[in-house]
Amino acid sequence: MPQFRPPTHRQWRPRSRLASLTRGKHVLVAIALCLTIFYLVSRSGGTSESTLLERHMNSGPPRYPIKVVKSSVDWGNIEYRHPPPTNLAQLPKPPRKGKGNLPRVQHKFKKESAAARATREARRDAVLRLTKKCWDSYRRYAWMQDALLPLSKGGTQQFSGWAATLVDSLDTLWIMGLRDEFDEAVAAVAEIDFGSSTSPLVNIFETNIRYLGGLMAAYDLSGRGVLLQKAVELGDLIYGGFNTMDRMPVDNINFEAAKEGTGLLMEPHVVSASPGTLTLELTRLSQMTGDPKYYDAITGIVDLFYRGQNQTAVPGLFPMFVSMAHLDVTAGNTFTLGGCADSLYEYFPKMHALLLGGHAQIATLTRGFLDAAKRNLFFRPMVPDSTSPEADILISGNLNFDPDGNSRLDPETEHLTCFIGGTFALAGRLFQNEQDVAVGARLARGCVYAYRAFPTGMMPERLNMYRPHLPKGFTTAKDPRYILRPEAIESVFYLWRITGDMEWQEAAWDMFQAVARGTATETGSAAVLDVTEDKPNLPLDDYMESFWIAETLKYFYLVFSSPDLISLDKYVLNTEAHPFLLPQT
């Protein structure tokens, strides 16, 4: 696979316009112009991040030459054993024309004081510095590999060898104004060969959320045509994952079988999040390209979950494992919003937003899961300071059924489950139910509480808490790691943008200081093996997941940026925090 190699130094890059003004009078003119601009900006209170974003989108050609290498397999021209239907489902139309298809989601923020702005921007810049450090280390030690090994200063392949961290980080670089780094990364993306894989099996879920989501979001932000071109190449590969008898997706695409179009082997059972988390990206790809085939592919998934929603042991919710091979999303005894199921539910309200409220089944799925989760999964744990406002929290547990059909709530939760606060708040606004916004706040506050409760200021990967009928406190930290996960700050971001309450910015700053300190290495950040003991040097794992830059640091940055940057009324973010533009009506 041809690979773009970064330069060892930066002197060769085109010189700036100001640097080319070598004559004295031109320098004076340029200085005067800069002083004038500085004066005007300072008088106007500064330039918002949204204005900077617009300037980036119209700031001229990329600084790096683009050499597009078409993938060695033309996934769009594979002859399938199980071809798609001739009459493809079309994207639904919004329920009414013009503006107002969706209610306002984001809080109407008032102008902040100079002191508040200075504090916010200082915090934002701290996030930027850490992101830059991590990206520079990836660029130096793991370029074009999937992930950085921050302790051994190397790289590793994890997801087919298509530079997962690079693709996953594209929109973060753009949002943070790292234009030079973005341009260099785009030039490298242009040479990725999606016809060659380091693994014989391509995981459809991870490929979809990290790679396809990353490419499309970066295209939505920058308008760079090469990103859409590569997104279509990859989208056609994912589309090939539906080459099965019932046109349902496999969990892992056999790369060689997919090339031949001979049909794929369906797994007997898969986690429910795997098929359920293909909907947003493939819908957006149809919106971008005008080709309905991608959206058509996911309509079967939506219809299957819709028909089964009230046939499960917990009507409204789906079991952790489902069977695409047997078209069964109802049989199962474990129900959770955590790992294996999380983004299935996350995508219900986000699909509602992306389709501008134009899909009745999606609306029903969303409302059904919200009501069922409130009735069956959420509990208020016993905590020592139960009378304080900060302790007005909810935790999402797991519901298990025994062979006799008796249910038991397991008060175990995961960091992965922390997304649910933001999802409830978002759905509450989309469906104009402020009670659900309040429930989302209590859920997000529960994860913030877990961060603050441990001596390192970081929440463990998995823990248990007492329900009210037992003594106060935590019972276990079954998995004491912090692996750079974003879900807690994700919910804090949504609650900040939706409510405007300052408690969320303060919580975000506490969390950022803790994770930045606890994960710090010479080359960036590494996962922590045990957050339950406060030691001078925490034990670290030699790994930096691509979602650290793509999600965690991006959410921290957005909390401390102008609310106009990636507004929740203009974008919907996928489960990897990649922002997709809402279509214009």
Residue 36 annotated as binding site: no
By the 8 A CB rule, do 285 and 232 touch?
Answer: yes
Catalytic residue flag (residue 342): yes
Kindly name the residue from 183, 281, 342, 551 that is annotated as catalytic. Answer: 342
How crowded is residue 369: how many other Cβ atoms within 10 Å of its Cβ?
23
Give the rounded distance of the alpha carbon of 450 from its chain centre: 22
Dist CA 289 CA 294 (whole Å): 10
- Close Cβ partners of 19 (under 8 Å, ≥ 6 residues apart): none
Structure tokens at 422: 């933001």
Which region, left, alpha or beta, applies to residue 60 given φ > 0 means left and ψ of -120 to 50 means alpha? left
Name the burial class of residue 171, with classes exposed (0-12), middle (13-18) and buried (19+) by CB atoms within 10 angstroms of its CB.
Answer: buried
Annotate 142-180 with DSSP letters as a single string.
Answer: STTSSEEETTTTEEE--STTS-HHHHHHHHHHHHTT-HH
Largest Cα–Cα distance in the chain? 88
Give the rounded distance of the alpha carbon of 441 from its chain centre: 20
- Helix or strand (DSSP H, E) at 372: helix 360-376
- Close Cβ partners of 47 (under 8 Å, ≥ 6 residues apart): 41
Dist CA 242 CA 238 (whole Å): 8
Catalytic residue flag (residue 490): no
Catalytic residue flag (residue 461): yes
174: nearest Cα among 14, 68, 38, 50:
50
Annotate 284-338 with DSSP letters as a single string.
Answer: HHHHHH--THHHHHHHHHHHHHHHHTTSSSSTT---SEEBTTTTBSS--SEE-SS
By the 8 A CB rule, do 267 and 325 touch?
Answer: yes
Kindly name the residue from 168, 206, 414, 436 that is annotated as catalytic. Answer: 206
464: nearest Cα among 562, 398, 512, 416:
398
- Close Cβ partners of 68 (under 8 Å, ≥ 6 residues apart): 190, 191, 226, 229
> CA separation (Å) from 373 to 306, 419, 440?
16, 14, 12
Structure tokens at 228: 């859409």
- Close Cβ partners of 375 (under 8 Å, ≥ 6 residues apart): none
Output DSSP code: residue 482. Answer: B
Catalytic residue flag (residue 281): no
Dist CA 338 CA 126 (whole Å): 30
Residue ranges in 398-433 assigned as alpha helix (H): 420-430
Kindly name the residue from 184, 220, 281, 487 that is annotated as catalytic. Answer: 487
Kindly name the residue from 146, 461, 545, 551 that is annotated as catalytic. Answer: 461
Angle at 206 between CA 567 and CA 201, to 5 degrees: 160
- Close Cβ partners of 125 (under 8 Å, ≥ 6 residues apart): none
Dist CA 375 CA 268 (whole Å): 30
200: nearest Cα among 255, 138, 141, 142:
255
Output DSSP code: residue 387. Answer: T
Q: Which positions are annotated as active-site residues?
A: 206, 342, 461, 487
The annotated binding site is made up of 575
The annotated binding site for Ca(2+) is made up of 575
